[in-house]
Structures are given as structure tokens and as C-alpha cells.
Amino acid sequence: MNKIKQTLRDSKAARWGALAIISVTMFAGYFLTDVMSPLKPMLESEFGWSSTSYGIFTSAYGWLNVFLVMLILGGVILDKMGVRFTGLMASGIMVLGAAIKYWAISNPTLPNETILGIHSQVFFASVGFAIFAVGVEVAGITVSKIIVKWFKGKEMALAMGMQMAVARMGTLLAMAAPVPLATYFSSKHMQLVNGELIEKMGPSISAPIAFALVLLVIGFISFFIYMAMDKKLDASIAESGEIDTDEPFKVSDIAKIIANKGFWLIAVLCVLFYSAVFPFIKYAADIMVNKYELSASTAGLIPSLLPLGTLFLTPIFGSIYDKKGKGATMMIIGAALIIFVHTVFALPILNYWFVAVFLTMVLGVALSLVPSAMWPSAPKIIPENQLGTAFSLIFWIQNWGLMGVPALIGYVLDKSNPEVLAAKAQIAQGVEGITVPFYDYTNPMLIFAGLGVLAIIVAFLLKAEDKKKGYGLELPNIKQ
């Protein structure tokens, strides 16, 4: 009797072990991505940043990925060179970008100079963030393809949910840890007063970034362990005689991807949904200070509940999709929750901290529902040999939102609150006795709610397309 040879991915311990290793890298990446969010009030008080400056910095996430199409190039490299080469490259780029960002924030002489009309500290921090963004986005598509490679026909949605849950732990830490770290490692730095730089003792804003840099180095090292496992997987696949029915990726396949209506619906839903969530996270701590009048030291605790909820819910929703299906329906429900949350945030009433806690928890449900259904749906629409490039195109389109929306929010916030900007300008010049009024976040929250409305429309269109083309988005992932 012939015994069917199994591959390494048929071992539960092996495939889940591989997932755990690559999740370390994404945990570190997500931490650095949002580490500056709770520090916004400190950046304004210590370095004189405006909301527009902060918006420019956060928008830098998409500079290289969008305008130099580095993300799309990364996807082509992934399909051509494989997950080992691309993952190591992306991890190294993340470390480089984080190092530049750390240097910019820790350099006390930069705030007094300008480059292209931007404070040099903001400019160089943005450059570092832009370089890091190339690495973390390419790492994201690489990890997605790794999961498809190890979990095809198995617990794919659950695996993607678990990976996202670990990554969200990085976001949780980024919400809760930066202010205590900056306060604990207080140091002397230069501050502009009456047009002159003077030495002042204050929080060390660079300390949380240094911590993030250490985490990224650990993630870079851990990827070497994964590379060894991936080599063993390829060897076991060759030994098993498993036939690869996919043709090698060709650059001309890009045309096939962009001609696929299902691809575009997934991509547009992605950019709308994430633009309503991630830019919000970058302003969430500041919203808690200005709308709910929490202290800067505790403001990050409520937003940290958002990724905390996803730790448990994303794997649960992923498991439901694996076993029961209903992926398109889950995306529709998640988009509806986005509309509800941001609409209530925009209301000039209910300014109680426990309301903010409730809304954050509901947003966490949405952040669990949509990604746990959206990312496992992509392999049902796109052939595996084109997945790296397809993911990179989706992420590239997403980066237009991650680049444009934070800058838009910062601009709208300043334009909606000229009295706040005027008061902070006087304080930056050393004028004493100035009381800074709170920001009114109504208009930015209405923008986020509008993105949710567009997202739910696209989600319904995707469900209709699935019914027409038979992608199987409403069917379970696990094949019996």
C-alpha cells in the first residue's frame, strides 16, 4: 500500500511555528508605524510641531510607496525572487528607515532649520518614515503570501487573523507605551523660545523610537530562522511530488490582474476601510485629549483598547470564515460599524470617556471583521502565482489613502481651529499666559464617516460580483 508523502506544511507545529516567527517582524513594524500617535501633544509642546506638520509626517508613509511605486516593485520582486529574499530585504529596509527617524527626532539642532519650507526635523523624520514604510508594506505582502504558501486548503483565514492579531499587539503597545517611556527617559533638549534655542529638561520623545528600533532589529534577526524553515518546506514539497499547477509569474500578468473587476473591488474597499481606521488611530490620542479632556499621559490608553479587541476577535472571525464562509457579508457589517463609530465621534455631545471606550471597542470589532474576511478572499479571486503582485497593487492603492487622508485631516483640523493654531504660535515664540483652546474634531470625524459610507457601497458591489462570478467569498476556506 502506497503511503502519501506529506509536506512540512501538513505538520501543525511547523506551519504555526513558521507563522509565529514571521509575526515577530510584523509586531515590530506595527509598533513603529503608530509610535508617534500618543506623542503628538509632546511634539507640539516640545518641538513646536503643528497639526499640519504632524499630518505631513504621517502622510510620508506613502511617499515612496505611491509616487515611486516602490510597493508595486516589491510585489514583482516577491513573485520573481520568492518570500525568503523579499522578506529579508523588507526587514532590512524597515531597520534603516527607523534608524533615520530616530536620528531626526533625537537631534536637538534640527527644529531651527527648514527644508522645502518644512522644519528639517519634520522633513528628516518623514524621510525615515517613508523608507520604513516601503519595508513594512513589502513585509506585509510577503507575510500574506507566506501564509497562503503554508496554509492553502487549511486554516488560512485563522492564520491571517492570528498574524494580524499579533501585529495589532504592536499597535496596542504603540498606543500605551510611548508617553510613559518618553517621561521615564526625560532628558535635556533644545527648544525655540523668543526666536532662540535654549536648553530645557523635558520628556525624551526619541526614547520610544529607540525601543521600536530595537524591536525591528530583533524582527530582522528572527526572519533568518524563518528562511531555514522555508527551505525545508520547499524541499519537502519537491520530495512529495506535489505538482505546481501555477505558471511562473510574468510581468504581463499585471495586465490580467488590473483587468479583474473583483481585484478592483477588493482594492477600493481596502483603501476606503483602512483610510477610515489607521489615520484615525494616528489622531486618536489627540482626540481623547481635546474632545474628552483626558490628560496626555492617559490619552493613549483608550485607543489601545482597539487593537486589544482585535487580538481575540480577528482569529475568531477568521475561524468562522474558514468553517462557515460569509466573507462578503462580514465586510458589509464591518463597514456599517465604521459609519456608526465615526458619526457618534463627530457629534458635539456625549463627551464622556466611557462613550469613547465603547466606540473604540466597536471600532475594534470592525477592524477584526473586515480584514479577517478581506485578505483571505484575495486568493479566491487572484491565482497564487500572481498573489504577490496583486497584494502589492492593493497595498499601493491603500497607500494613497494612508498618505492623503492623514495630511487632509491635519489640514482640516488646523483650518477648522484657527484659534488653536494662533495660540500655539504665540507660545512657540515664548509669549506667556496663553491658554490653548481644545481642537474641535467634528469635521475630521465626518470625513472618516464619509469613507465608511463609500466602503459599505463597495462591499455590496463585491458581494454582487461574487454571486455573478462564483469566487466563493461566501463559502468556507477549509476544504474537506
pLDDT of residue 131: 96
Lowest mean per-residue pLDDT among 127-131, 430-434, 445-449, 456-460: 430-434
Q: Residue 1's pLDDT band (boundaries 50, 70, 90)?
A: very low
What per-residue confidence (pLDDT) applies to 480?
Answer: 57
Tell me: pLDDT of 2 over 50.
Answer: no
Task: Look up residue 135 and give its three cell numbers.
Answer: 519595508
Q: What is the mean pLDDT of the chain?
A: 84
440-473 in b/e form (b: 16+ CB < 10 A) is: bbeebbebbbebbbbbbebbebbbebbeeeebeb
Q: Which among 215, 216, 226, 212 has a CA at the least distance from the CA of 86?
A: 226
Best-predicted range by mean pLDDT (40-49, 224-233, 319-328): 224-233
Name the burial class of residue 353, with classes exposed (0-12), middle (13-18) and buried (19+) by CB atoms within 10 angstroms of its CB. Answer: middle
Cα separation, 453 vs 462, in Å, equals 15
* pLDDT-based confidence at residue 242 (cuts at 50, 70, 90): low
Q: What are phi and psi of 116, to 5 degrees?
A: 55, 35
d(CA 363, CA 381): 27
Average pLDDT over residues 312-339: 89
HSE value, Cβ hemisphere, 13 Å, CA-based, for 412: 16
Q: How far apart are CA 456 and CA 1, in angstroms?
A: 54
Instruction: Give mean pLDDT, residues 257-273.
Output: 92
Cell numbers found for residue 68? 515611486
Give me the mean pLDDT over the 89-110 stretch.
89
Q: What percent of the chain has pLDDT over 70?
A: 91
Of 456, 275, 270, 454, give the one whose Cα is nearest residue 377: 270
Q: How far apart, in Å, are the Cα atoms of 390 and each of 79, 84, 251, 328, 403? A: 10, 18, 12, 19, 20
Lowest mean pLDDT among 39-48, 105-114, 171-180, 245-254: 245-254
| pLDDT over 70 (residue 244) | no
> Cell 470625524 belongs to which residue?
445
Which of 10-24, 275-289, 307-321 comes out lowest in average pLDDT?
307-321
Per residue in 388-437, pLDDT (tens digit) is 788 888 888 887 887 889 889 888 988 888 888 788 777 767 677 777 77
- 150-193 pLDDT tens trace: 888 788 888 888 888 888 888 888 878 888 888 888 766 555 55
Q: What is the pTM (predicted TM-score) of this model?
A: 0.74
- The CA-based diameter of the chain, rounded to the nearest angstrom, is 89
Residue 360 has pLDDT above 80, yes or no: yes
- pLDDT given at position 249: 65
Cα-atom radius of gyration of the chain, to the nearest Å?
Answer: 23
- 232 grid coordinates: 525545508
Among 60-74, 140-154, 181-195, 220-234, the range scoring the smallest mean pLDDT is 181-195
**Res. 286: pLDDT tops 80:** yes
Range 305-332 average pLDDT: 84
Q: What's the sign of the alpha-carbon dihedral 206, 207, 212, 213? A: positive
Spatial distance between the Cα atoms of 142 and 85, rounded to a whole number of angstroms: 10
Looking at the predicted structure, is the pLDDT value of residue 359 above 80?
yes
Comparing 15-24, 85-94, 391-400, the range with the smallest average pLDDT is: 391-400
**Does 65 score more than 80 pLDDT?**
yes
Task: Determine the length of the chain.
Answer: 480
Higher-pLDDT residue of 41, 18:
18
Domains of the chain by range and CATH? 10-240+250-469 (1.20.1250.20)
Question: Would you give the end-to-end CA distance of the chain in angstroms?
Answer: 23
